[in-house]
Structure 1
Amino acid sequence: MGFTSVNRRDAMKRAAAAGLLAVPAVGALASCATGGDDGDEKAEKGKKSKKNPLGVKEDAALQVYIFNGGYGDKYAQYVTDMYQDRFSKADTEQKATEKIATQVQPRLVKGDPPDVVNNSGAEPIHPGKAIKNEQLTDLTELLDAPSWDDPDVKVRDTLVPGVVQMGAFGTDGCYQLNIASTVYGNWYSEKMLTETLEAEYPKTWDEMLAVCKKAKAKGIHGWTYPGGHPRYMLFSMFAMFAQAGGREVIEAMDYLEPGAWKHDAVKSVFEAFEELVAKKYVLTGFDGKEAHIEMQTAWTKGKAVFVPDGSWVENEAKDTTPKDFRMAVGATPSLDKSDKMPFGTLYAPPGEPFMVPAKAKNAQGGMEWLRMMYSKKAARNLFEEVSSIPVVKGAIDGLKLPPGVDSSQKAIKAAGKNIVLAFWKEWYRDMFEADYNNVMGKFMLGDMSVKQAMDTMEKAAARIAKDPDTQRVERS
C-alpha cells in the first residue's frame, strides 16, 4: 500500500459537505472506491437480485468470529440466526473468543480465515498491517448495496457520520466497520455525586479537584483506573487534549507530526492528572488479567467517584451495579479560560469493529451478515442486549433508555459539533496498545514525570513515522 498523501483542504470540503465537521477529515477517507476482485479460493458467487443484492451463494457455509467481551456474543447470534433464516441451505457457525488475533491471525496468514470477524478486545488484529498485506476485503460493495430496511437507501447512508471514515485507514477503500457509538469520558454514579458528596459534576479542573478532596474526606477515592490496562486513561485525557489546544493538536497526533506530543496543551493535561496522583486521589491496583472488571466492581461498590471508561461499561458492569446507582458519563472538565474548545467536547467514536477477510471462502456472505447487522431490527436488538447505542440512524428512536445510554445520548447532543476522534489510536495500534499503555502505567503510579511521559510518546510517534511498514497518512 505504501504511504498515502492527503490534500487537507479538499478533505475539509468533503467533510463539511458530508456533515462531518466534528471529525478530522482524511481526504480519501471521505468515500470508499470500488475495489477487490475475488480469488480462486473463495466460494462461487451467487446470482444478484433484489432479494440478494450482494450475490451470496445460497448454500455457501458462513463462519463468524465474535469477541467475547463486554458485549458477549448473543447480539451477534441474533444476526447469525437472521442469516440462517435467509439462507436455509447454508451451514452457519458462530464462535466466541477473548483472543481474536490469537485465533484468527494465523488463519489470515494461512489463507483460510473466517468469513466475518469482530476485531475487538485486548488482542485485536492490526488493521493497518492487514490492509498492507492485502488480507482484508474492501467493504465498498457492502456500503453501496441497498440497505436491509429500504432498497432505495444505500447502507452507507443509514450510518451515522464517522463510521466509514474510521474504517478507511488512509486508503481509497473501506476495510473495517463499527456497529456501536462509543462514548468515552468520566463515568460516575449520579447518586454518589449528588447525594453522598452533595456535589455537581465538575465543569472545570479546579472543581474536579474540589470534588476529589470532598470524596477523600469521606474515605472515597476521586478516581480509579485499571492498572493492568492503564491505556484506559486516554478515554478521559483525549478530549482534554483537544479542549486545551484545539483540533490542530489532536490532528498533529494523527499525522505523526514532530512536536505533537510536546505541545503546551498536552503538557497541561498531563500536569492536571499528575496533580490527582500527587494528592493521592487515585485508587491504584487492579493489575490482574481482568483489571477492567476489578476496577469497575470497585467503582460500582462505591470506592471511587470517577473512572475513565466507554459506554460498554453499563452492560459490562451490570451484575455489580446497584439499581439506584444512576450511571452517567461526564465530558472532560475545562482546564482554564484559554482552552480552545468548550466544556462538553466529547470523545465519541464509532466502536466495536468488524472486518471481512480477503480470502474468506464466503466473503459475500460476510458482507451480507454485516448488511443484516445494519438493519434497524438487529441494531435495536444490539441496544436491548448490551445497552449500547447503534450506529444505524433512528434505530432506537422512541425507546426508553437505561441511565448510562440516556446520559451518553445527552452528552452527544450537548457536544454538537465538538466531537473528536483519535484516528492515531486506530491507525497505529502499537502506539496505543504498547507505548501509551506503558507510559500511563508508570505515570499513574508517580513513577514517570510529565516531561518523561511527553518525551516517550514523542519518540514513539517518531519511530512509527520512520517505520517503512507503517500504513501512514500524511496531510499537505
Structure 2
Amino acid sequence: MKQRKWLTTVAASVVAVSVLAGCGSNNDSKGASPSASANPSASSSASEGGKQFENMELNVAVFQGGYGREYWDSIADEFMKDYPGTKINITASPKIAELVRPKIVAGNPPDFMYVAGSDNMPIIDGLIKDKALLDLTDIFNEASEGAPLKDKILPGVLESRSSSPYGDGKVYLAPYNFDVMGLWYNKKLFDDKGIALPTTWDEFFALGATAKDNGRSLFTYQGLYPGYLEEMIVPAIFNVGGQEALDQFYNLDPEFWKSETFTKVWGFLDKIANEDNALMKGTIALNHTQAQTAFMQGKAMFIPNGTWFEDEMKDSPREEGFQFGFLGVPSFETGKPMMALTDVQRLVIPAKAKNPELAKEFLKYLYTEKGVKLNGEKAKGIMAVKGAPDLVKEFIPESTYNVYKAVDNGIVTVNGKFISVAKGSKYNPSDDIYKPISSLMNKQMTVAEYGDKLYGIFTNIQKELKENGAQE
C-alpha cells in the first residue's frame, strides 16, 4: 500500500514538474549523475584519515515503511567507514513520530530525520509551521564537479514548496526517493492482441468493448482506499485547467468546486461509475491488495497505482504471462501529452539538532553515486536525482525502470500538496475529497451533489483559516 499517503500537508504547494527531463539519457547521465566526487569530503576523508567534527556522533530517525530500513543501516555503515571515528545511531519504526515527538517537544530532536506515512507526517507539518527546520540551502549551493549540487537534483523539485515551504527560495526539506503514478495495464495482453494504448479519455472509454471481448471490465481501483484515484484526478486537473486550477484545488479554494475543471474531471469518474462494464463489480468493497490481485488475474483492463506496484505484489497470483505496463493518465484532448502524478519523499534536519554539521555531511553523502546506488539496491528506491534510474537499473524491476523512462519519453509529471487547515480543525482535505467518491461510484451521489458538498466543506475551511489567522 502507498506508504506516502495521504496529502494532508503544509504550506500551499504545487509542483508542475517536467521531471526527469533528460534523466538517465546517454547525453546527460555521465555529466549529470551523482558521483563520489560530488562530495569532496567523502573522498578526502578516507585518504586523509577522516574528517573531524566537533561532535562525531549522529542520531538518525527514519520511517520504516515500504523502503524498509536496510538502506539506512547500510549507508550508515558506509559513511562510518569513509568518516573514521564517526558513530551513527539509527532508529527506525513505522510509527517513527511516536518515538521522536517527545524528544522534539523536549528540545532534543534527532539530528536527521526521514519521516513519511500519513500517521507520521503531522510532525513534519508542525516543524514547518513552527519554522523549526534547519535551512539546507547552502548544501545544495555547494560546488560539486564544477556545478552546484542543486543542479544534480531533478528539475523543479528544490523550487517546489515540498522543499521550499515558505516560498522564499530557501530549501528546508531535502528530496529523497520519488514515485511515479498513473494507470497500469497487462502489457502482454495489449501486445498479443494488438490493442492500442489510449492517449485520451475518449480512447480509454472506447476500449470498453475490447475489455468485454477479453472477459474483463475496463477499470478497477482500491475501493476501500479511494485516495488512489488521486493518481488520475490530480494530473487530470492540471490537464484541463493548468496551474491555476491546481492552485485552486490545493489552496482549498471553494470556487474550484463550481468550476468547469471540476465538472470535466469528475465527469470521467461519473462515466466509469455509470457506463456498462466500465467499473469492475465489487470494486468499492475491495482493499488495495484485493483490487490489485483481481486486476492481475485479468478481471480488469486498468488500475491506478505507482512504481512500488510490482514489488508490493511480487508474490500475488496473476493470469498467465502477466506483465506490468505503465500508461500514465490520458488527456482530455488529442495532441496533449500524457501525464503522471509524482511524489517526492523528504529528509530534514531539525533546527535544534545537536549535531547539524555532521547531519549536513551525512545528507550530502546520500547524493553520492554510492548513496544513490545503495538506495536502489537495498530500498529499491529511485532518488530524485538526475540519472538515478540508470544508476540503479540492475536493482529494480524492468517495469519500474520503464516507468521512469516513459517520463523521459514525454509524459509530463505533476505534483502538489494541500495547505494546512486550521489547528484543531475537524477537516482533512484529502479524506474530505476522496472518501465521498465511493458514494459517487456506487451511484448514491451525483457529481453536482458531490461538488456542493465539497464547496461547503472548503468554505468552512477558509472561514476557519481566517479566524485562526486573526487569533494568531
Equivalent of 1:63 in 55, 59, 64 = 59
CA displacement at 1:174 relative to structure 2: 2.1
Give the partner amino acid of 1:375. Answer: T
Q: Say which of 137, 142, 149 aligns to 2:134.
A: 137
Match of 1:161 in 2: 155
Using the alignment, how far apart are the partners of 1:286 and 1:84 within structure 2?
Answer: 49
Q: Residue 224 of structure 2: SS of its match in structure 1? A: coil
CA distance in 1, matches of 2:214, 2:200: 22
8 Å CA contact 2:96–2:115 kept in 1: the answer is yes
Task: Report the counterpart of residue 37 of structure 2 in structure 1.
Answer: none
Q: Which digits, 9 at most, give the CA deviation of each residue in 1:344-368, with x for residues without a partner? A: 133334x122222222333333332
Provide the C-alpha distance between the structure 1 equivalents of 2:112 and 2:467, rounded to a whole number of angstroms: 25
Distance in structure 2 (CA, Å) of the matches to 1:386 and 1:21: 24
> Which of the numbers 416, 420, 431 marks the counterpart of 1:422?
416
Q: Does 1:93 find its partner at 2:86?
A: no
Q: 1: distance between equivalents of 2:174 and 2:429? A: 19
Task: Assess if the C-alpha contact under 8 Å between 2:181 and 2:231 holds in 1.
Answer: yes
State the match for 2:204 in structure 1.
208
After superposition, residues 36-435 of structure 1 pair within 5 angstroms as 57=53, 59-126=55-122, 127-147=124-144, 150=145, 152-164=146-158, 165=160, 166-172=162-168, 173-195=170-192, 198-279=194-275, 281-283=278-280, 284=282, 291-320=287-316, 324-336=321-333, 342-349=336-343, 351-397=344-390, 399=393, 402-415=397-410, 418-424=412-418, 431-435=428-432
* Contact 2:133-2:349 at 8 Å conserved across structures: yes
Kindly tell me: are residues 225 and 343 of structure 1, through their superposed partners in 2, closer, same or farther at Cα, counting changes over 3 Å? Answer: same
How far apart are the structure 1 equivalents of 2:98 and 2:234?
A: 29
- Write the letter of the residue equivalent to 1:367: K
Q: Deviations over 1:283-341 (max 9, x none)?
A: 445868xx43443333333333322122222332233376943322212122345xxx8
Distance 1:51 1:286, change over 3 A: farther
CA drift at 1:186: 0.6
In the alignment, residue 293 of structure 2 is paired with which amino acid? T
SS of structure 1 residue aligned to 2:298: coil
Q: Which amino acid aligns with 2:362?
A: W
**How many percent identity over aligned positions?**
26
Q: Secondary structure at the match of 1:237?
A: helix
CA 1:435 to 1:130, structure 2 compared with 1: closer, same or farther past 3 Å? Answer: farther
Letter in 2 for 1:157: D
State the Cα distance separating 1:229 from its structure 2 match: 2.4
CA contact (8 A) 2:70 2:379 kept: no
Instruction: Measure, in 2, the Cα distance between the counterparts of 1:4 and 1:385.
Output: 32
Equivalenced residues, count: 421
Task: Label 1:468 to 1:180 Cα distance change in 2 as closer, same or farther (>3 A).
Answer: same
- 2:69 partner amino acid: D
CA distance in 1, matches of 2:208, 2:108: 53
Change (3 A) 1:171 1:244: closer
1:56–1:364 Cα contact (<8 Å) kept:
no
Query: Residues 387 and 115 (structure 1 numbering): CA distance in 2 closer, same or farther, change over 3 Å?
Result: same
1:427 Cα deviation from its structure 2 partner: 6.1
CA distance in 2, matches of 1:5, 1:395: 28
1:438 maps to a residue whose letter is K
Q: Could you say what secondary structure the match of 2:147 adopts? A: coil
Q: Is the 8 A contact 2:389 2:404 kept in 1?
A: no
The amino acid that maps onto 2:399 is G
Structure 1 CA distance for aligned equivalents of residues 259 and 304 of structure 2: 23
Q: Distance in 1 between matches of 2:176 and 2:328?
A: 22
For 1:133 and 1:230, the matched residues in 2 are separated by 32
The AA in structure 2 aligned to 1:109 is: V
Contact (CA 8 Å) 2:238, 2:246: kept in 1 or not?
Answer: yes
Q: Find the aligned partners of 2:141 and 2:178 in 1 and give their Cα distance.
A: 21
Amino acid in structure 2 at the alignment position of 1:82? E
| 1:331/1:343 contact within 8 Å kept | no
- Which residue is equivalent to 2:27? none
Aligned-partner Cα distance in 1 for 2:421–2:18: 21
Does the aligned pair in 2 maintain the 1:427–1:471 contact within 8 Å? no
Query: Match of 1:352, SS?
Result: strand
TM-score normalised by L of structure 2: 0.77
How many angstroms apart in 2 are the aligned matches of 1:63 and 1:410? 36
On the 8 A contact 2:250/2:417 being kept in 1, the answer is yes
| Aligned equivalent of 2:450 | 453
Q: Are 1:80 and 1:92, in contact at CA under 8 Å, matched by a contact in 2?
A: yes
Contact 2:55–2:355 under 8 Å retained in 1:
no
For residue 272 of structure 1, report the CA deviation from its aligned partner. 0.9
Q: Report the equivalent of 1:43.
A: none
TM-score of the aligned structures, taking structure 1 as reference length: 0.76
1:77-131: CA deviation from partner (whole Å, max 9, x where unpaired)? 3322222223443332223322243333343223232222222123232344321
| Unmatched 5+ stretches in structure 2 | 1-9, 20-40, 46-50
185-194 or 400-409: bigger deviation = 400-409
Query: Quick one: structure 1 residues 72 and 467, their matched pair in 2 at CA, closer, same or farther if it must change by over 3 Å?
Result: same
SS of the aligned residue for 1:92 comes to: strand
Offset at residue 215 of structure 1 (A):
2.6
Shift of 1:22: 4.4
Tell me, in whole angstroms, the C-alpha distance in 1 between the residues paired with 2:366 and 2:467: 31
Q: Deviations over 1:124-144 (max 9, x none)?
A: 323443212233222223223
RMSD: 3.7
